Structure 1
Amino acid sequence: MNYEESIEFIHSTYKFGSKLGLENITRLTELLGNPQDSYKIIHVAGTNGKGSTSNMIHDVLMASGYKTGLFISPFLEEFTERIQVNKHHIDKESLAKITSLVKEKIAVMLEEGYNHPTEFEVVTAIGFKYFQEQNIDFLVLEVGMGGRFDATNVVKDTLVSVITSISFDHMEYLGDTLEKIAFEKAGIIKENSSVIIYPQAENVVKTISDVAEGKNSNVYVVNIKDIEKTRGNLTGQWFNYLKKDVFSLSETKMNFLGEHQLYNVLTALRALEIVKTSGYNVTEESIKEGLFTCRFAGRFEILRENPVIVLDGGHNINGIEYFSKAVKENFKENKITLFFGMLKDKNPEDVLPFIIPLCKKVYTLTPNNPRAMKSEDLASLIREHYEVEVAPLNSYEDTLPILNAAKKEDCIAFVGSLYMIGDIRTLLKNNGFIENK
């Protein structure tokens, strides 16, 4: 099996859908020798902020001298982004070799009477095996969906669990209240362990805390008073970490914009405190280095200035709300030109009040996904409620002449489905719109 054949096999398992449960992944990892038991794991669940928080933790551990794996989903531009070690994506030869091995073990499972693993279960198994072969020290493991029955939760032991911001998403699987969703996310907490909780609604924190206490685990709720933003510009923001009992940080820079990213870095720092107090060498210098170099494509990512072009994968109401706050903070009274595309099941009508009032003109796009809302339908929805000028575009390429005609003082934003943001990022990169990336 070569790389192309391995990708084809992985994507062919999409037809087996999304099935929450651990029976299949447990058997598959057993047949692979339980590779997930070979390294220390920081497990990260939540609705928003998982990727940013995971990347921050990963980059600090790497700067601390540890060989560190990162498992994320979905990918933005290349499939190999999902499985990384020290910022290097899994190589195509390893992916093909391990996929062949996983396919052989799936054949054994089917003979034993198990169902065929889903696509996410297959990718999770491939990642675990690759990380074992790479002999990593730590794995920062991002949950795919939910937590309790997510394939990543086959891991038996974690150094620390992290629960980021929770909002409404995947309700058909996780429940129709924040408490139900929080309960599912809290399913990653292990017995006699530690959990870090992003600062959020009391009912969410209580639900997670109750699960943790039932497992005799320590609960650490992040306190927003522990961070102070000192300054910021389009390259990032500087902050003081006011909690001094474990780390004594001087003013520190990160490349992420938006108030929510201050809370994400707080969450990451609290998780790193657990790593430090567990006997691992994480220093103030490695924190500064890791955060200074850490980037996460597609999350309020400034591609260039004059004109400003920003990409943001805010694909649900919580993500769009974060985006709108970041626009107000960084662009002040400047109205933006918005390129917007969402999936139908993400309730586009609910996010419009957060984003449309910030716009002087809107162009709608159709994400490359069967669940996408058509650009014409999204434009009609916006016109129904707002007087802003709206124009549906037929293809991503239609954005290029608009960008070429933009004025230096313009603020342009591509926002919505990550399926769209990844394709747009590739298009803009190939056409010279990304500076110094």
Structure 2
Amino acid sequence: MAKLTYEKLIEQLNQQMLAANTDRVALLRRVLDNLGHPEQHYRVMHLAGTNGKGSTGTMLAQTLINAGYQIGHFASPALNDAKEQIVINNKMINGDEFVDTYKRIVSQLPSDITPNDISVFEWFVLIMLQYFADQQVDWAIIEAGLGGLNDATNAISAPLITIFTHIDYDHMNILGKTIAEIATNKAQIIKSDTTVFVAPNQHDEAIKRIDDTYQKHHGSELILTSKLAANQETLFNGTRVDIKLGETVVRDVYFNLIGDAQLDNLATVVAVYNWLLKHEMVVGNDSLIKMMRDIQIPGRFQILERQPLVILDGAHNVDGASRLTETLINLRPNGKFIFILGFLKDKEYQKMARIYDQMATEIIAVSPDNHQRALTTNEIEKLFTKPTQQAVNAQVALRQARQLADEKTIIVVTGSFYLVKELENGWHENSK
């Protein structure tokens, strides 16, 4: 019998998206019951939100690694390899470990649950929880997928810390049509005896719904994060930040990420860090400051090249698009912007297109590498009033943009994580 490889396993897993199904969390909890709840063997931070989970989770993970902890981090979507979703101290799970953990879980499934009853995302969640226990991590930083209430990660026991990054409109067909409905869904990850952190710049209705759920579930403490003082440098070289929050006081520290959204994410990280200081889980500020100086996050205002300036950003909803363009205008008020754009059909692409159309000098349309969900280049071109070209893929689009660019041009690649992923995989070849 041929060995079961990681690639063969992924092919045979149930590829359905079951995020809207109301019975999934209960099913996964039964599996975790049989496994002896591996997530209870380490401390957990559980994150939910529309935008900012990846950046906040990455910053928290790196800060705790700097403090000497063994850190598991679960995040989606992956940019290049699905196994990137499961990492320990920045090293992703390998194929053999993934398969071995899968087999172990299969051997302990309840008798009425088969492997095919569990979707591929749910398998990643289960394998992550068990793998982190097997590897004896100290902390697991677990980012929710879409939700929420029915998100597979909500099957875990009560985490020590629950974090809400910025909540806005996305996945409305699943989460609800209003901020109140979306926030109510996401707030269902709150469990008893957990400390809840809420990122700054939230809609009032989101804060209200989080607070209502927190009160209902008798959380340990609710902390609303304050904004940080910062002076953004003008050459796209990062940010200078002053921090004063409780025991955490640092002056004029360089922060390697750019934009107001990242400052909000950092503010949340600082609030959590201050709580950890208070509870003697970290000592001093060195691990936080080192993270701020060194942090790099692919696909989040990522500068690929500087002549011309090429920025890659995974903004894929209206809130993300708005915050991206605000950052660009703040940093280069008189800039000339060429946007390489691709959208998925199930996103609010018309609203995003209007945002980019207002500031673009030129647009290059690319169909993201997800043929079932992607808009065609013809469909994308029709969304814009500004001059628009089409490109067969992201690499060709970047070559076209370079030909159009001058010394004042900023090339921005955005609209879909699939487009970001495609360019992240191949842009090096275009720079040769």
- What TM-score range do you get, normalising by the shorter chain? over 0.9
Structure 1 unmatched ranges of 5 or more: none
- The 2-side partners of 1:159 and 1:360 are apart by 48
Residue equivalent to 1:91:
94
Match runs of 1:15-414 below 5 Å: 15=16, 17-18=18-19, 19-20=21-22, 21-105=24-108, 108-110=111-113, 116-199=117-200, 200-217=202-219, 218-224=221-227, 227-232=228-233, 233-243=235-245, 245-369=246-370, 370-382=372-384, 386=385, 388-403=386-401, 405=403, 406-414=405-413
Deviation at 1:115, TM superposition (A): 7.7
Task: Report SS of the residue matched to 2:72.
Answer: strand
Instruction: Please give the alpha-carbon distance, in whole angstroms, between the structure 2 residues aligned to 1:362 and 1:231.
Output: 27
Distance 1:138 1:282, change over 3 A: farther
Instruction: After superposition, give the CA deviation of every residue in 1:173-229 in whole Å (9 maximum; x if it has no partner).
Output: 2111111111111111121221111121212111111111222222111122xx111
Residue type of the alignment partner of 1:40: R
- Give 1:107 deviation, angstroms: 8.1
Match of 1:288, SS? helix
Quote the sequence identity (%): 26
Q: 1:107 to 1:213 in 2, by over 3 A?
A: closer
Conserved 8 A contact 1:252-1:288: yes
Residues in 2 aligned to 1:115 and 1:313: alpha-carbon distance in whole angstroms? 31
208-217 or 300-309: bigger deviation:
208-217
Q: TM (normalized to structure 2)?
A: 0.93
Q: Could you say what secondary structure the match of 1:260 adopts?
A: helix
Secondary structure of 2:328's counterpart equals: helix
Does structure 2 conserve the Cα–Cα contact (< 8 Å) formed by 1:247 and 1:273? yes
CA-to-aligned-CA distance 1:137-176 (integer Å, 9 cap, x gap)? 0111100111222111122121211101111111122111
Task: Report SS of the residue matched to 1:14.
Answer: coil
Q: How many residues align?
A: 422
How far did 1:16 drift? 5.8
Q: Which runs of 5+ in 2 are unaligned?
A: none
Counterpart of 2:129, as a letter, is F
Contact 1:160 1:274 in 2 (8 A): no
Q: Secondary structure at the match of 2:297?
A: coil
> Any idea what the Cα deviations from partners look like across 1:384-427, whole Å, max 9, x if unmatched?
xx2x1011222334225325534444211111110111111111
Distance (Å, rounded) in 2 between the aligned partners of 1:17 and 1:316: 21
Contact 2:254/2:292 (8 A) holds in 1: yes
Give the distance between the partners of 1:242 and 1:353, measured in 2 at CA. Answer: 38
Contact kept in structure 2, 1:306 and 1:409, CA below 8 Å: no
More off after superposition, 163-172 vs 29-38: 29-38
Deviation string, structure 1 residues 278-309 (Cα, Å, up to 9, x no partner): 33024211100122222211011111101101
Write out aligned runs for 1:425-436 (5 A).
425-432=424-431
Q: Which residue of 2 aligns with 1:415?
A: 414
- Equivalent-residue separation in structure 2 for 1:279 and 1:432 (angstroms): 47
Write the distance in 1 (CA, Å) between the matches of 2:407 and 2:77.
33
Q: Is the Cα contact below 8 Å between 1:106 and 1:116 reproduced in 2?
A: no
Instruction: Report the alpha carbon displacement of residue 376 of structure 1 after superposing the two structures with TM.
Output: 0.8
Kindly indicate whether the alpha-carbon contact (under 8 Å) linking 1:109 and 1:115 is maintained by their aligned counterparts in 2: no
Q: Distance in 2 between matches of 1:324 and 1:36?
A: 39
Query: Contact (CA 8 Å) 2:160, 2:193: kept in 1 or not?
Result: no
Asked whether the 8 Å contact 2:180–2:206 carries over to 1, the reply is yes
CA distance in 2, matches of 1:86, 1:209: 33
Post-superposition offset of 1:334: 1.0
Deviation at 1:120, TM superposition (A): 1.5
Distance 1:67 1:209 in 2: 32
Deviation at 1:29, TM superposition (A): 2.1
Amino acid at match of 1:239: V
More helix by proportion, 1 or 2?
1
Deviates more, 1:334-343 or 1:168-177: 168-177
